[in-house]
Amino acid sequence: MEPLTLDMILVMSMIGLAIFLFIVEWVRVDVVAILMMVTLPLLHLVTPKEAFVGLSSNAVVSIIAVIIIGAGLDRTGMINKLVAPVLRIAGNSSSRIIIAISVTVAIISSFMQNIGAAALFLPAIQRISKMQKIPLSRLLMPIGFSAILGGTITLVGCSPLILLNDLLAPFNLEPFGLFDVTPIGLVLVVSGITCFVLLGRFILPQGEPMDGGESDSAISPSASSDPSKSDKDQTEFYELRTPDDFTDYRDPVFVEDLRRRYLLNVVAITEPPDYKVISPNPDVEVRSGIDLAVCGLKKDVLRMASAEGMHLKDNLEIYKDSLSTQAAGSVEVVVGPRSAFAGKSLKEINFQDRYHVTPLSVYRQEETYRAQIDDIVIQVGDVVELYGTWKRLTVLHKEGGLLFSLPSDAEEMRPEKTLWAGFWLVTALVMIMGFKIQLSVALMTGALGMILTRVLSIDEAYQSVDWRTIFLLAGLIPLGIATEKTGAAAWIAHSILSFIGDVSPIVLLTVIGILSTMFTLVISNVGATVLLVPLVVNMAIAAHTDPRMAALVVGLATSNSFMLPTHQVNALYMGPGHYRTVDFIKAGALVSVVFLVVMIAMISLVYGI
């Protein structure tokens, strides 16, 4: 084994710094990657050309193209058209529904980013839950896990597998083909679905059926942000009138004050002389002798009426028509991936002023927040309950970034472009399989074809790309180059092998699978892949095991991230499913073990290890 050099120490220090920053999240993961991209050439661990080679790599271009193709398929509404036939096949059985939707999501996920497939199906799953009266918590986790597993069916299904061939290139190893992983991925999907069909009643939270049936309107109203509440805890609408001396001898009272003091949301208020304002701004003053409508628990309404001297009316009077279910209502929305609202507080978004809708509550990781929610910074997967007129909610719906309970309006879709979208997807696949054209060139051809045939505009294509993921990939590639170039990967590999001793190829691949699973639970799957592939290839060469199989284990096992809600799909579904972290640990532990066993067994069977 070569002696430890200064360059090796510097590279390992940078790896340690990257892992530390991934875990503590002091800065975003893409910023960490850019930090690596800039620092490595400054330390002379890579050349400037090597530092930025990731931006033009086959993997990065392929991922951009896959995202654009997925956006094109979404824009045509092809996904929504699958819901009806899937329901006809599934019938009323929850097990058949889980199998049918899970298989469909897995297949879609094999050709587009799994977070995209999961996001596209979320409104449809919510609708099915209401129609069939099946608790959402029994549907979302199996389907979410299937979306993750579906990414292992083809080489373009997830970022680690797309990245794999680029990481093998420095070792002059034979690249993997588009469908080389398909037998393994299909069995992984089947085994995951089987776990939930046979053991779902033991590992899934049972939950309560979602209230309400199917609605003919564009957006379906929802009575409460938490379906597990009893009737006495349901929020309702109440109308009150302030006394004529309400503003005498006191500081002004604003709409936000009532929310903070009494946990009530003012959804309508009368401005002098007789102007009704639906979803007023938080800074609107509550004046004397006016009517207002609030949403909340009756005990809180009684408390406010008593403390503020307001008269609580028996029924809605002034706002009877304005707040009727035909004119207005509440709806639960999920903050989707790449949403422009993510990372902003409700005060910054300013729903009341921009869209004239009122945020009622925010549900996140087992907690429902109703007081002082304006300062809460919205995250992907958060469930926000909004109230407003259906017209205003539909405008917000069309804005994008929030996943409503029903599919998008037909005005947002381009169903007439469905054939073109399918044609360009098939064209890209034929170029890869039939003509052996490089992955990035074939996929970008499909993406460009969708733009030229106006399946989506060039601006929509740019907007669809998650540039955070692109810079994460591009920034970490030079770290992998430095790890191999300085000999750090070989040194770490020999150190690990000297610790575990001589083992059979199956045992070595199992150890690599467990190591990859542990890494992907605490850092991104892309980061784990870039850091581990050079390491495990060197380990396999030293142990006289096929290095391609070692790299393949990493590419697959970095999708084995079920035990914590750290994966984007798990984070997205955690809010709508009202899951707790312990729910993911309970179901994810079983699926993770099955994943490792099936993966090693299939690699051994298919490739004869």
**Average of pLDDT values for 54-61?**
89
Does residue 214 have a pLDDT over 50?
no
- Mean pLDDT is highest, among 96-100, 278-282, 508-512, for 508-512
**Average of pLDDT values for 142-171?**
91
**Average of pLDDT values for 487-511?**
88
473 membership: H or E segment, kind and range: helix 467-485
The maximal CA–CA distance of the chain, rounded, in angstroms, is 88
**Average of pLDDT values for 492-507?**
87
**Average of pLDDT values for 149-173?**
90
**Token representation of residue 499:** 């610790």
The confidence score (pLDDT) of residue 407 equals 40
The confidence score (pLDDT) of residue 366 equals 61
Q: What is the dihedral of CA 136, 141, 143, 147, to 10 degrees?
A: 140
Q: How confident is the model at residue 380 (pLDDT cuts 50, 70, 90)?
A: confident
**Average of pLDDT values for 141-162?**
91
How much of the chain exceeds pLDDT 90, in percent?
33
The confidence score (pLDDT) of residue 234 equals 59
Instruction: For residues 86 and 463, give the distance between their C-alpha atoms in angstroms, rounded to a whole number.
Output: 30
Average pLDDT taken over every residue of the chain: 84
Residue 57: left (phi > 0), alpha (psi -120 to 50), or beta?
Answer: beta
Q: What is the dihedral of CA 415, 421, 426, 429, to 10 degrees?
A: -140
**Average of pLDDT values for 509-521?**
91
**Average of pLDDT values for 153-170?**
90
The confidence score (pLDDT) of residue 126 equals 75
The confidence score (pLDDT) of residue 601 equals 95
Instruction: For residues 168 and 178, give the distance between their C-alpha atoms in angstroms, rounded to a whole number.
Output: 15
Contact 117, 109 (CB under 8 A): yes
Domains of the chain: 216-405 (3.30.70.1450)
Tell me which of 60 and 364 has the higher pLDDT: 60
278 membership: H or E segment, kind and range: strand 275-278
The confidence score (pLDDT) of residue 280 equals 87
The confidence score (pLDDT) of residue 131 equals 73
**Average of pLDDT values for 269-292?**
86
How much of the chain exceeds pLDDT 70, in percent?
92
Does residue 400 have a pLDDT over 80?
no
Q: Which of 325-339, 346-360, 592-606 comes out lowest in average pLDDT? A: 325-339
Q: How confident is the model at residue 227 (pLDDT cuts 50, 70, 90)?
A: very low
The confidence score (pLDDT) of residue 220 equals 36
**Average of pLDDT values for 192-197?**
93
The confidence score (pLDDT) of residue 316 equals 86
Does residue 210 have a pLDDT over 80?
no
**Average of pLDDT values for 447-453?**
96
User: What one-character DSSP code corresponds to residue 207?
Assistant: -
Instruction: For residues 608 and 601, give the distance between their C-alpha atoms in angstroms, rounded to a whole number.
Output: 10
The confidence score (pLDDT) of residue 11 equals 93
The confidence score (pLDDT) of residue 32 equals 92
- Mean pLDDT is highest, among 118-127, 182-191, 242-251, for 182-191
Does residue 255 have a pLDDT over 90?
no
Q: How confident is the model at residue 65 (pLDDT cuts 50, 70, 90)?
A: very high
The confidence score (pLDDT) of residue 218 equals 36
The confidence score (pLDDT) of residue 190 equals 96
